[in-house]
Amino acid sequence: MLRCALHDVLLAALPTSPFHFPTPHASCHHSAAHARYGPRRAPWPGHGGWLSLLLAGLLLLVMLSWIVGQRIRNELTEFTPLAEWLPLLQQLSNDQTVPKYATHLVYLTKSDDARQVENGIIHSIFKKRPKRADVYYLVHVTTTDEPYTRRYHVTYVLPNELVRIDFYLGFRVDQALNYMYRQVVADLVKNHEVDITSRYESLRGQDMTGDFQFIILNKTLPYQYLLRGWQRTALRLHGWLKWLSASETESFGLDNSTYTVENVPLHMPTRPELHLTRD
């Protein structure tokens, strides 16, 4: 400390120089501070960065869970040739012994190929309560890379009985499917391609429009324990993210009175046969 005090006196006596030379002055004060307060700790390299790392990790987990979960569900979704079921569908539509489910029955399909259909739709129409309708519709939505694409294509699989409508929408277009579907049907009626007049005699004479019913398939996994551990975890996280996000009925703008949510099973690995012994 005495040496530092003598150094300050000498600096005060020396003439002022326009040039600055390093002196031990700062080191003297640093030594004094070191003696009084102890050594200074270097700042933690990650100071303030842990939050960014945590958010990045959570974002990565969400993205991976959604992508992997959706990929697993797509792999478990089976498709079947639509042509194999057309004769039975035509017979069901004309079978008067089966109560009519709806005049116009609409299914949302994920099949990009018009010749294929999900087993879940076949299961819903034939293998549960038979759903007889006058006209069946398969609606498919393709999201394009162009932001504002608004196109549609109509395929008549069975004239006056089965119609497929493909929408090609940009990634920035609001997929208000209910409104778009009704606009397409109105165009088809205007061109005399379909008849949406009620098929009931008492209402047809009054030129009343037939009812429309959407079927939303909720694909379930009845035997998740047959999957691997990481697959079950990814599907649980994927299901949790779907629960947090908007549902299909909300994103498509469907009215509560026009749709029915129906559970159908996904294809699962073969379940081991359970041998039971009768007493």
- pTM of structure: 0.72
Alpha carbon distance 69, 4 (integer Å): 70
Q: What is the DSSP string of 60-71?
A: HHHHHHHHHHHH
Residue 132's pLDDT band, with cuts at 50, 70 and 90, is very high
Which letter does DSSP use for residue 130 in this model?
Answer: -
pLDDT tens digit sequence for 45-86:
455 678 888 888 888 888 888 888 888 888 888 899 999 999
Structural element, H or E, at residue 162: strand 162-170
Alpha carbon distance 95, 91 (integer Å): 6
Residue 259's pLDDT band, with cuts at 50, 70 and 90, is confident
Residue 21's pLDDT band, with cuts at 50, 70 and 90, is very low
- What is the pLDDT at residue 209? 86
Q: Report yes or no: 85 and 115 within 8 Å, Cβ to Cβ.
A: no
**β 100-108/212-220 pair status:** parallel
3-class SS of residue 140: strand
**Nearest alpha carbon to residue 72 among 224, 234, 216:** 234
Q: Which of the residue ranges 51-60, 91-100, 228-237, 256-265 has the most confident prediction, judged by mean pLDDT? A: 91-100
Alpha carbon distance 59, 55 (integer Å): 6
Q: Which residues fall within 8 angstroms of residue 114, CB to CB, at 6 or more apart?
A: 82, 155, 157, 164, 166
- What is the pLDDT at residue 9? 44
- What is the pLDDT at residue 246? 65
* Lookup: tokens for 78: 């089976």
pLDDT tens digit sequence for 81-98:
999 999 999 999 999 999
- What is the pLDDT at residue 6? 43
**Residue 182 in this model has a pLDDT that exceeds 50:** yes
Alpha carbon distance 117, 88 (integer Å): 15
Alpha-carbon distances of 32 from 10, 12, 28, 69, rounded to whole Å: 19, 20, 6, 62
